[in-house]
Amino acid sequence: MAESREGHRSDRHEPGVAREENGFTATSRHAGLLFNRLLRPNADAAIDFHTGTTGFDVTAFNIGETHRPDVKAMLDLYPVGQIFDLPKHAYPTVLHNAFVDAGIPAFTPEIGAARALNPEMIDLFVEGTMNVLKHHGIIAGPMGRTAENMTVFVGNSAFPILATEGGIVEHLVRLNDKVELGQRVAVQCNSFGEVVAEYATPVAGEVMGQRSDAMAEPGNILVAVLFNRTTRDRVEMYPE
């Protein structure tokens, strides 16, 4: 099932959000029927394809829990450079978590920017998906490129660097770049070319997303950095 997060609203129901066939709304009932009577009974494993949101470009990466052997086996079959090892509780409404809750191994590939045709990125995910189909014996044939052919960065958290001003965005780093603590990653200028804000990363990791719209308002995400946060029993520990 392909899905972009562009346009998410609080009243939206996907199978990962509501699985009650007798819910209070038509959308919740639809989600329950779709998941319980079509998706879950017909799946031994699942791939929930996504893209980035409108106005925000992302790298080629997968979201999945690497401590689950059946999920990690599929994640490792993709020739992509980043894995977001995201605990289920941190993204509870995504469809792949509904499958995991039902005992079905699943994960989410993130295939670049929304509404953009990127043949090179598409090839990576087609190759990885074909590898998964071969892994599960659905089709025959030799494996293509996998994570073994890549230098893969695995992070358990993503830090959003938010705009504090309005203005034109100039990025100082690129997708997949490694960044160090305190490194400048973006600046904003007004219409006269005067710098109104500079942005540095408070964490070290790799760039996994960047605002692609030329302008940004306060609160917009400018850069997302994939990094490793200290955890305790798979729960992220945030500094006060």
Residue whose tokens read 């500079």: 198
What confidence score (pLDDT) does residue 9 get? 37
What confidence score (pLDDT) does residue 49 get? 95
More reliable by pLDDT, 17 or 116? 116
Separation in Å, CA 45 to CA 40, 94, 96, 118, 130: 9, 15, 10, 26, 14
What confidence score (pLDDT) does residue 238 get? 38
Average pLDDT value for residue range 185-199: 97
Q: Where are the domains of the chain?
A: 2-155, 157-236
Tokens of 121: 């990125």
CATH class of 157-236: mainly beta
Residues 202-230 pLDDT 10s = 999 999 999 999 999 999 999 999 999 88
Residues 29-64 pLDDT 10s = 888 899 999 999 999 999 999 999 999 999 999 999
- Cα 200 to Cα 161: distance, rounded to the nearest angstrom: 8
Residues 1-15 pLDDT 10s = 333 333 333 344 555
Q: Collect all residues with Cβ–Cβ distance below 8 Å to 196 and sequence separation of at least 6.
A: 165, 166, 167, 188, 189, 190
pLDDT at 92 > cutoff 90: no
Q: Collect all residues with Cβ–Cβ distance below 8 Å to 139 and sequence separation of at least 6.
A: 130, 133
Do 81 and 151 contact (CB within 8 A), yes or no? yes
Chosen CATH of 2-155 out of 2.70.170.10, 3.40.630.10, 3.40.50.150, 3.40.50.300: 3.40.630.10
Residues 102-143 pLDDT 10s = 999 999 999 999 999 999 999 999 999 999 999 999 999 999
- Cα 128 to Cα 121: distance, rounded to the nearest angstrom: 11
